[in-house]
Amino acid sequence: MIQAWIFLILAIILEVAGTTAMKFSDGFSKLLPSVLIFVCYTLSFIALTFALKKFEMGVAYAIWAGLGTVLITAIGIMYFEESSNLIKFFSILLIVIGVIGLHLSGNNS
């Protein structure tokens, strides 16, 4: 199960890197970030596929998408000066609570 967690964490990191590269690509006008989008997302899906050997599909996807969303929101606020307010914070908190709830409800043997 530890290996599945490693693959899932790697998938999340790669998804966040790919999404960040989207911002840096400036609408595919910059070559390196544009290439990184596809490389990071391809590797992310490969890692997620390996994680699915041990995780339930819905739980793994919720963790991958939910924590990716949380991290991308934090990166947007900290590095790209995106807005931050109480509603955004509360909404992210609800995503985290939902991911934890799905994980706790799953059969992660």
pLDDT tens string, the chain, 109 residues long: the values are: 899 999 999 999 999 999 999 999 999 999 999 999 999 999 999 999 999 999 999 889 999 999 999 999 999 999 999 999 999 999 999 999 998 888 788 665 4
Identify the three-state secondary structure at position 55.
coil
Amino acid at position 40, single letter: C
| pTM, 2 dp | 0.90
For the chain, the structural domain boundaries read: 2-105
- Taking the CA atoms of 72, 78, 81 and 86 in sequence, report the sign of the dihedral they define: positive
**Half-sphere exposure at residue 102, Cβ-oriented, CA atoms within 13 angstroms:** 18
Q: How far apart are the first and last CA of the chain?
A: 7
